[in-house]
Structure 1
Amino acid sequence: MDKKTDLTARNFPTAGEDAEAAIEPSRYAGAESAYRLAFTDTEFLLREELRPVRMQLELLKPEMIQSEHGIRSTIVIFGSARIAAPDAALARLDAARATGDAEAIRRAETAVTMSRFYDEARRFAAIVTHKSAEMSTPVYVVTGGGPGIMEAGNRGAHEAGGKSIGLNIVLPHEQAPNPYITPELCFQFHYFALRKMHFVMRSIALVCFPGGFGTLDELFETMTLTQTGKSRKRPILLFGREFWTRLIDFDWLIETGMISPGDVNLFRFVETAEEAWEVLAEHYGFDLPETLTGEFADDT
């Protein structure tokens, strides 16, 4: 045995080793017993008083694991869980037409129209993954981990041969992770606030597709952080000018003094995956020759 290893050997067993070695004596093995190690006692960890500890764990786990995987920069894709892939939307339209229900047909036709955003999100994620693969700091796609636009984002990255992140959350209507997230980067949250913090912590851009309350919550929190200077300014791209301008009257917000005229410069409308990449490439110099973006950039 190499004695030199004693110079750096642990003086105490790890928590994992103690947890594995711990044997509960029969007298103290019952549910009412307090004998279990505190960090292996789920019932104890779920006490109301332990909320600060649970919040810290939800901050630390994704942070540590992403760091271990070398993930430093991300692009966040937000959007509706209800926007279906084009083939699925067309199948629903065929089914609606078979019923002859005019309202069902109208809804299905709208779903087909909206399904183009699924394709754009899928293609955009593939472009990001492919284009950034050779960068010294690759950029990874991160989504909320569910279906719809979130699935499209993870799917595009997966099909481009790259990793992507999913930040799922426990909901009353169970949301299962979509099948395209890199398994070791698929996280589940209890606290919305911690989940939203992780969306922003590593992001170099926010790309927002049409969505409902959840998408609006995520979008406006990010814009508020930027507007108030609590977060550094970064590109915020809204896919689909028609959708967003019908949903939110930005001109009226300016006219009534609710926002400053310059606040509309916090975001930019785009229509296609290629246009979105061009905006980001121009902002960060992604497509410039290496001498303009590498270590000698200051010399040019």
Structure 2
Amino acid sequence: MRRDDSIPEDRRTPQPPDPLRRRTPLPGSLPKSEAEDPQAALRVRRLMDSPVYREGSEDLDFLRSDVARGVRLDLDYLKPELQLQQYGVTEAIVVFGSTRLVEHKAAATRLDAAQRQAAAHPQDAARAQAMRRAERIAEKSRYYEVARQFGALVGAAPALAGGGKLAIVTGGGPGLMEAANRGAFEAGGNSVGLNINLPHEQFPNPYVTPDLCLRFHYFAIRKLHFLLRAAALVVFPGGFGSMDELFEVLTLAQTRKIEPLPIILVGKDFWSRAFDVEFLLEEGMIDPEDRDLFWYAESAEEIWEDILYWRQMAGRPLLGR
């Protein structure tokens, strides 16, 4: 009803009120007068400054407490999930591998330094051992280039069969994770790093897409995000972290807690010694079909072609072509 002088006052449409401010303050919007109680303002300030008075979402001490762990787990999951959804990432090629396997030039420099130290202290067993370790690292530094080439193949891949975006996903750290992210970055593809908060500083590698550099507090939620979009798992030579992720995925696929996916171990010589699956089979600890949950590859092209072929055989082609 319009405002019109011919309309009775009690039937006129009132002006819309200000969405924030009242013309007449409510009683609680003004502090108690000092004339009524000289100490009231001080007591109110103490109340408002107390941590108890903070809203839950603004109280960091509360959010970090044991009782709020469930909320933190939710947030640890939700923020990365929304970012990945917003970016349109629907499929991931997950790559694990050692943080210690660096590109050949850096490995050669470290080997040279270790050799000089060993030569200068020929009786020092620790330096001799450090030199042997540096030799092994330099020998396996070729995997850095393999991971980089593989990341480039994924980064340059055509459109997905179901739409959405394909991404290389790593733990966001150095070494072979850096190599895979770097290859995807150089090919103009999507490069995701799922970093983890550790007691010491954990820098993300510089080849992760800025909008896809994510950090987690809980390993469990990070593991969940590794697998939520995983189209394949590629594991280069690595230590405890790589083995942790590998065996977890193998167990989930073995028990069909997740739908089986391509699991490729890069470097048969390394993995057949680090993980003697034939021994487990002979001892009756696994079944013959469990042995077929993974296989070996050596080159970037072989890894990529195997993934595409496996997905095609499974009736779940990865690419649109």
TM over 0.5, shorter chain: yes
What corresponds to 1:237 in structure 2?
Answer: 264
Query: After the TM superposition, which residues 93-108 of structure 1 pair with which residues of structure 2 at under 5 Å, given as runs?
Result: 93-99=111-117, 100=119, 102-108=128-134
Q: Does residue 98 of structure 2 align to residue 71 of structure 1?
A: no
CA contact (8 A) 1:155 1:180 kept: yes
In 1: Cα distance, 2:219 partner to 2:319 partner: 36
**What is the count of residue pairs matched by the alignment?**
268
For 1:71, the aligned partner's letter is: V
In 1: Cα distance, 2:51 partner to 2:221 partner: 32
What corresponds to 2:136 in structure 1?
Answer: 110
Identify the match of residue 142 of structure 1 among 157, 160, 169: 169
Structure 1 residue runs of 5 or longer lacking an equivalent are 1-11, 14-24
Q: Report deviation, 1:138.
A: 3.1
Q: TM-score, normalised by structure 2?
A: 0.78
Identify the match of residue 72 of structure 2 among 54, 64, 72: 54
Q: Report deviation, 1:133.
A: 5.4
Identify the match of residue 182 of structure 2 among 149, 152, 155: 155
CA contact (8 A) 2:170 2:180 kept: yes
What corresponds to 1:272 in structure 2?
Answer: 299
The higher radius of gyration belongs to: 2
- Match of 1:123, SS state, is helix
What corresponds to 2:11 in structure 1?
Answer: none
What corresponds to 1:87 in structure 2?
Answer: 105
Structure 2 residue runs of 5 or longer lacking an equivalent are 1-18, 21-43, 120-126
What corresponds to 2:8 in structure 1?
Answer: none
CA deviations on 1:233-263 (whole Å, 9 max, x unpaired) are 1100000001111112111101111000111
Identify the match of residue 34 of structure 1 among 48, 52, 71: 52
What corresponds to 1:120 in structure 2?
Answer: 146
CA deviations on 1:119-172 (whole Å, 9 max, x unpaired) are 111110111110235764431000001111111111111111122111111223
In 2: Cα distance, 1:201 partner to 1:284 partner: 17
For 2:107, the aligned partner's letter is: A
In 2: Cα distance, 1:172 partner to 1:132 partner: 40
For 1:254, the aligned partner's letter is: L
Q: Report deviation, 1:40.
A: 1.7
Q: Report deviation, 1:59.
A: 1.2
In 1: Cα distance, 2:319 partner to 2:73 partner: 38
In 2: Cα distance, 1:70 partner to 1:29 partner: 43
CA contact (8 A) 1:167 1:188 kept: yes
Q: Report deviation, 1:44.
A: 1.4
For 1:115, the aligned partner's letter is: S
Q: Report deviation, 1:179.
A: 1.1
What corresponds to 2:286 in structure 1?
Answer: 259
In 1: Cα distance, 2:63 partner to 2:87 partner: 28
Q: Report deviation, 1:27.
A: 4.1
Q: Does residue 228 of structure 2 align to residue 201 of structure 1?
A: yes
CA contact (8 A) 1:85 1:119 kept: yes
